[in-house]
Structure 1
């Protein structure tokens, strides 16, 4: 724990933290009080409606989100950081291509962001001595968007992501700390009457401004959902095999987004791979090629499930049919079920050679 030192000028320290954060490559650094306020009540209401689907951890740890000092004792302040990740502007719009969410095409952001936040914390310790802190990046029950909003890094967009005048292609990370740093002021919201993200969502998951029903969200269906994807939603997934960027792609503010950190440059051709290439990966190839990539955590079975759906939504080619048939007897029943569905979809459409 940090003994509050009357000789420390916390305003000057905050300016130094912001400057050091810039040197570490963060796009923005801000400070908030460790109090989520009304956002905690909105989270409870969202959970009560079941909008989190099978993400039980959201409900299990809701009160830790609401009370930061219960997650890390002594926490007074949240240092919020944003890191740009946009790797390119290409869109996988050909139906035989694999559409993978941009954040997942390069290195696993959890480690990158946490490592940099640790360096930032070390720099603070070099100025004030030992202090109480813990670093996070989407790795614990933290109300990331709310604290980033309070810290002036942006506002909560209608798609519920943090949005700023530099767009939304940003990872967030936090340092919970016992340092009494002066908080920043939130910035004005600039969504106005725009509803582009609600209109663009392929499955209608943004059920109202600022409210997402995860059970319909393609990111949830392709990443978080462990079982079968509901049949009525499968055709709407198109060629998206891991996540979905549609609500960000249509956002006018993303015209001003900066290209991201080199750490997140695409690897293994994930920005241009075809569905057939990726469907052919064995489990060993999946594990090897996706080492250090966030996709790896869904495992090979969900990977095949997702690609089978995308192939079923794509052109009825002989190659697509043969690829699916090669997995008809896969040992996992979920893979077999999605392959059968995909083959029936292809059979219902005119074939192409």
Structure 2
């Protein structure tokens, strides 16, 4: 009986904790080069210059590693145990995106990918692999859709009939020839929930995103002051935004996260804004050690906290903002003065 290496690989991926594993070809998404080029030409990437700088690789997965013959796409659930939208009503507390409330998923998923990859190499001596988790110029979502893991919804994130949309993606490029899976079919229908819930109207049209208006981009990637017209719309979201994910009806099929390191640390579920505003660099690093939040640094983080304070309507937080009006970082000081103005009724 002929060996079915692909089925064995999928079984191994499930044994390692992945919820789904599908295969596609590096050249399966020729349309993404034009889509990416238009996105960058319109300036919708904002300050993410790396998108433009490495557009050739990002727009053509086959160019990233020409020797690769297959791309194995894997899904890892991080489904929250509670409704992340509930925190938006607690104005004196911070809303942190679900994925960032504990350990950095890049490290967890990459180690798991490497274990699956090593297994594959043991079965196919002489072959090679490269693993990627959201840090290389790889368009994971179009590749995952081509592999049949799901489809890109109107919010541009990946959706699955079996998993909802609370899952990370990992990719294993390999020289091993594996039979590709059929691509997924789009199943959003007439639903507009993700588009209508967006507080900053970051979706110019269904299946399109303008990162410059996206709260995830503004709180994580954007450096310097945020445009004043957008600050009030950020509410108490200080790192990322889950609104469009949380309202998706397909989440009725979401599966529970198996990795305990994705479970929220209690101190990162609705932390008090006043306490976060008081963090100096050392305290910030200590609190977010091992967290993806650490990457943005104290200044950008406290800037976000001050916007949330300005949006809180809580006069008791006025002193926390006043204490930072002369901060050494000009953007933090600007955010503090804005928050004071909001809480004082001046703005």
Change in CA separation of 1:289 and 1:8 when aligned onto 2, cut-off 3 Å: farther
Structure 2: 5+ residue stretches without partners: none
TM-score (normalised: structure 1): 0.93
Using the alignment, how far apart are the partners of 1:69 and 1:178 within structure 2?
Answer: 12
Give the total of aligned pairs.
341
Partner of 1:197: 194
Partner of 1:77: 70
Structure 1: 5+ residue stretches without partners: 1-6
Once the 2 structures are TM-superposed, how far is the Cα of residue 272 of structure 1 from its aligned partner?
Answer: 2.6
1:273-294 CA distance string (max 9 Å, x none): 1211222222111101211110
Give the alignment partner of residue 68 of structure 1, picking from 51, 61, 66: 61
Using the alignment, how far apart are the partners of 2:33 and 2:312 within structure 1?
Answer: 41
Partner of 2:214: 217
More deviation, 301-310/277-286? 277-286
More deviation, 127-136/159-168? 127-136
CA-based RMSD? 1.6
Preserved contact between residue 124 and residue 176 of structure 2 (Cα < 8 Å) = no
For the residue of structure 2 that corresponds to 1:176, the secondary structure is: strand
Using the alignment, how far apart are the partners of 1:32 and 1:243 within structure 2?
Answer: 30
Q: Does 1:335 align with 2:332?
A: yes
Using the alignment, how far apart are the partners of 1:66 and 1:8 within structure 2?
Answer: 36
Partner of 1:3: none
Once the 2 structures are TM-superposed, how far is the Cα of residue 90 of structure 1 from its aligned partner?
Answer: 3.5
Partner of 2:106: 110
Q: Does 1:31 align with 2:28?
A: no
Partner of 2:157: 161
Preserved contact between residue 28 and residue 83 of structure 1 (Cα < 8 Å) = yes
Using the alignment, how far apart are the partners of 1:58 and 1:29 within structure 2?
Answer: 27
Partner of 1:290: 288
Partner of 1:4: none
Give the alignment partner of residue 236 of structure 1, picking from 217, 229, 233: 233
Using the alignment, how far apart are the partners of 2:339 and 2:2 within structure 1?
Answer: 64
Once the 2 structures are TM-superposed, how far is the Cα of residue 268 of structure 1 from its aligned partner?
Answer: 5.4
More deviation, 243-252/276-285? 276-285
Using the alignment, how far apart are the partners of 2:269 and 2:251 within structure 1?
Answer: 19
Partner of 2:314: 316
Preserved contact between residue 127 and residue 175 of structure 2 (Cα < 8 Å) = yes
Find runs of 4+ consecutive structure 1 residues off by over 3 angstroms. Answer: none
Once the 2 structures are TM-superposed, how far is the Cα of residue 88 of structure 1 from its aligned partner?
Answer: 2.0
Preserved contact between residue 198 and residue 207 of structure 1 (Cα < 8 Å) = no
